[in-house]
Amino acid sequence: MHALSRFAAFVALAATLSPLSVNAQGLDIAQADVVDLTHSIDRDTIFWPTERRTFELTEEHKGLTERGFFYAANRFCLPEHGGTHIDAPYHFARDGLAVGVLPVERLVGPAAVIDVSAKAAAEVDYTLSVDDVTAWEAKHGKLSPGTIVLLRTGWSARWPDKRAYLGDDTPGDATRLHFPSYGIEAVRLLIERGVSVIGVDTASIDNGPSKDFLVHRAAGAANVVGVENLSNLDKLPATGAWFVGLPMKIAHGSGAPARVIAFVPR
């Protein structure tokens, strides 16, 4: 069976088992566009400022072998939290799920895109409010359990300019950051709604000035997964797309790089 056909069959089965949105249930994956929501990992990738070592790629072999065929192999090293990546609940919750035991079905589901880009453009440290969530629901319907909420701030357009993206580029210093993200009261409402993932196109699910990381702590305690540094959220509709965010399966990991995509109806 073709890979897309297999995925379509999975989605059809999931729709019969989970209280997902009507739009997502009706999506024909085989006829959908695939949108890459992932930034490439390279020397320009943005990591949390306190990381002393970032992405390292070492060329182990590149060229012809003794038998005359081409062969290439590299070795890489990078922190868990940088570029487009998953925050496991364990990142901020002692008893939260680590990456290696996250149920994969929790990372696949209908996407609800909440666009606050205009507000973020006017207020750099803007946080998603309860009113933003309820206004979205008034227009698109109440969020269902298992929904994956994606917050579009417009910040991915600033990637990979570290100063523009983070608000500050002082090495080793995370005390002067400025960027928008989720607000704690809005996230508490999303947790009540039973969402499984909250994602954002900035460096953190807490906004830049946050010092107590209340959103991370609340999400972790509820075993809600975070996804940070997303791209191309402007290519997704408010409802109707399917999100797939699969991290490297790092046992005991607090986070992991992820290849994140969305299936969008044509």
Domain spans, the chain:
3-52+80-265
Burial track 132-154 (b if 16+ CB lie within 10 A, e otherwise): bbeebeeebeebbebbbbbbbbb
**pLDDT score for 6:** 44
The CATH number given to 3-52+80-265 is 3.50.30.50
pTM of the entire structure? 0.89
Q: What's the sign of the alpha-carbon dihedral 111, 117, 119, 125?
A: positive
Question: Using alpha carbons only, what angle is made at residue 94 by residues 92 and 100, rounded to the nearest 5 degrees?
Answer: 85
Dihedral angle of Cα 61, 249, 109, 92, to the nearest 10 degrees: -120
Contact 193, 147 (CB under 8 A): yes
Strands 108-115 and 70-77: unpaired
H-helix segments, the chain: 3-17, 22-25, 117-122, 130-140, 162-166, 184-193, 214-221
The residue whose two tokens read 């500050």 is 168
**Residue 182: closest CA among 158, 163, 201, 157:** 201
**pLDDT score for 29:** 82
The residue whose two tokens read 């698109």 is 140
Integer Cα distance of 173 and 68 in angstroms: 50
Burial track 208-224 (b if 16+ CB lie within 10 A, e otherwise): bebeebbbbbbbbebbb
Dihedral angle of Cα 27, 30, 32, 35, to the nearest 10 degrees: 120
Contact 127, 220 (CB under 8 A): no
**pLDDT score for 153:** 98
Integer Cα distance of 151 and 132 in angstroms: 11
The residue whose two tokens read 């090495």 is 171
**pLDDT score for 3:** 44
Contact 135, 114 (CB under 8 A): no
Integer Cα distance of 159 and 251 in angstroms: 29
The residues, any chain, with a CB within 8 Å of residue 76's CB and separated by 6 or more, are 55, 56, 57, 58
Backbone region of residue 157 per phi and psi (left: phi > 0; alpha: psi in -120 to 50; beta: other values) = alpha
Per-residue pLDDT of the chain (266 residues; tens, 9 = 90+): 444 444 555 455 444 433 333 344 567 888 899 999 999 999 999 999 999 899 999 999 999 999 999 999 999 999 999 999 999 999 999 999 999 999 999 999 999 999 999 999 999 999 999 999 999 999 999 999 999 999 999 999 999 999 999 999 999 999 999 999 999 999 999 999 999 999 999 999 999 999 999 999 999 999 999 999 999 999 999 999 999 999 999 999 999 999 999 999 99
Rg (CA), the chain: 19
